[in-house]
Amino acid sequence: MWWPVSSSANLSILSVPKRGYALNILSLDTALTACSVALWCDGAVDAKHFAPMDRGQSEAIMPMVRQVMAEAGARFSDIDLVAVTIGPGAFTGLRIGLAAARGLALAANLPCLGVTTLDAVAAGVATAERNAGTVLVVLETKRDDVYAQSFDSDLNQLNLPSAVVPERLNGAFPPGPLTVAGNAAPRVAAALERAGISVSLSTAPGLPDAAVVARIAAQHWRPGQILSPPSPLYLRPPAVTRSLD
């Protein structure tokens, strides 16, 4: 899903119309327990960095951007689009990535596009695993529930993202073979198997990767397209709130 988020559940993130122009995309992710940056140049990743981290993304993201740009030999004047994950994910992580992406886009007068973490993980699932049946992406919330969304073999969304405990996921996908992806996949698979549902664990990375985010962005943005600034996708309120008294 890209921003603005559509309520339609029949969105493909695989179909790529032919185009007669180059497209350079700088993409970022700090939404969960990693920090990654990639530079996509007309169909291929020129440079990327990915580092697992529970915290510290705010200190890591901009040096990582500079490193990726230097390795690719690129200038900000070469960039056409900035892309960033919008969630669901950690409240602080989401805001770090969004602030960095929107700041870079504003400074360079570039459009900024958002991609959900669920779409990014789903797009990283291998074709053979997707073709086996439904893909269920589940991401950790550090609570009892998980962020979840299911996709068909072409990565069309079968439902809207939700925060749900694993034991209540039975109705989140159609009958048939099921591949579970994401960093919550092991505990969700165990819960589904206890309920008598046969599942396969995906071999795909369980976290979003900025390189995949850039690929999705390239499939859904065209030069001249006007975008609203991306906003975080929250599926539940924050764990801590501040009193106004």
Domain ranges of the chain: 24-118+207-220, 119-201
| Whether the predicted pLDDT of 232 surpasses 50 | yes
Single out the residue of 197, 195, 87, 219 nearest to residue 136, CA to CA. 197
Question: pTM for this structure?
Answer: 0.88
**Mean pLDDT, rounded, for 201-213:** 97
Equal fold, 24-118+207-220 vs 119-201: yes
Alpha carbon of 90 to those of 27, 37, 201: distances in Å? 18, 18, 24
Q: Which CATH architecture has domain 119-201?
A: 2-Layer Sandwich (3.30)
Single out the residue of 163, 159, 124, 125 nearest to residue 143, CA to CA. 163
**Mean pLDDT, rounded, for 134-141:** 97
Q: If one looks up domain 24-118+207-220 in CATH, what number appears?
A: 3.30.420.40
| Whether the predicted pLDDT of 179 surpasses 70 | yes
Single out the residue of 158, 165, 113 nearest to residue 138, CA to CA. 165
Site of tokens 């981290």? 53
CA–CA distance, 127 with 58 (Å, rounded to integer): 34
Per-residue pLDDT reduced to its tens digit, 53-71? 999 999 999 999 999 999 9
Per-residue confidence band for 239, with pLDDT thresholds at 50, 70 and 90: low
